[in-house]
Amino acid sequence: MPSNPNKPSPVDTAREIFAAAFKHHGPRVEALLWSGETSQRERFGIMCDIGDLRDARVLDVGCGFASLYDYLCERFGKITYTGIDITQEFLSVARERHSGIDVRLASIDTLGGDERWDYIFCSGIFNLAYGFRDLELNLKHMFERAQTAVAVNLLSAHSLGALNVEASYFDPADVVTLAARLSRSFTLRHDYRANDCTLYLYKRSNYPGRDVTPGNIRADAVKRPYA
């Protein structure tokens, strides 16, 4: 089915929503559509369990106020940080709070150059307006830019919370299938919050994804659940 040229893109929709949230809440975590700093830091902690980030080069996709930078410095000491976001108001706050910080007005698919980072983090941007195809395209862009690994958190379709009709939920099984296409070295964390999951996607040459090396397991050899 052809796309509707009059329908705003997910990025445009998200930009409008975040700009309105910032106008309402000001430079507070609620403007980022998080319920509070406690849940935000809990998600940071889970994402940063991906590896030893001391002296790492980190890209924060959808950086908001660059709060992840503070968490990384507290936990790991010296890191080299870059943040990107589509909302200028958020970046202005990030620069005010962190003198000399490298934050840029961009999304992962519009980020110029061929720069690479050890770890790429993405916390919360897919919770709103994005579909599975958007997740797939953005995850591929992040994986291409990563030297070591990517961490992304998502709202789970197995959530115990009340349905938010404006939110985007993802089936963990679909996320695993997507991850395996990019790398056979991955972990899906679904053990820390009732509505959340986090994907660790590692870049290891001896664990190529199915898009690169399909493998030898035939479809008829795979045991499926009953319909």
SS3 labels along 40-87? HHHHHHHHHCCCCCCCCEEEEECCCCCHHHHHHHHHHCCCEEEEEECC
Predicted local confidence at residue 6, as pLDDT = 64
Predicted local confidence at residue 4, as pLDDT = 60
pTM, rounded to two decimals: 0.90
User: Could you tell me if 188 and 146 are in contact, meaning their C-beta atoms sit under 8 angstroms apart?
Assistant: no
Task: Locate 217 and state its tokens.
Answer: 């397991």
Predicted local confidence at residue 1, as pLDDT = 47
Predicted local confidence at residue 5, as pLDDT = 59
3 or 54, higher pLDDT: 54
83 or 217, higher pLDDT: 83
Predicted local confidence at residue 161, as pLDDT = 86
Predicted local confidence at residue 109, as pLDDT = 92
| Tens digit of each residue's pLDDT (9 = 90 or more) over 54-110 | 999 999 999 998 999 999 999 999 999 999 998 899 899 999 999 999 999 999 999
User: Could you tell me if 133 and 114 are in contact, meaning their C-beta atoms sit under 8 angstroms apart?
Assistant: no
| Tens digit of each residue's pLDDT (9 = 90 or more) over 156-214 | 999 998 888 888 999 999 999 999 999 999 999 999 999 999 999 999 999 999 999 99
Task: Name the CATH architecture for the domain at 10-206.
Answer: 3-Layer(aba) Sandwich (3.40)
| Tens digit of each residue's pLDDT (9 = 90 or more) over 106-135 | 999 999 999 999 999 999 889 887 899 999
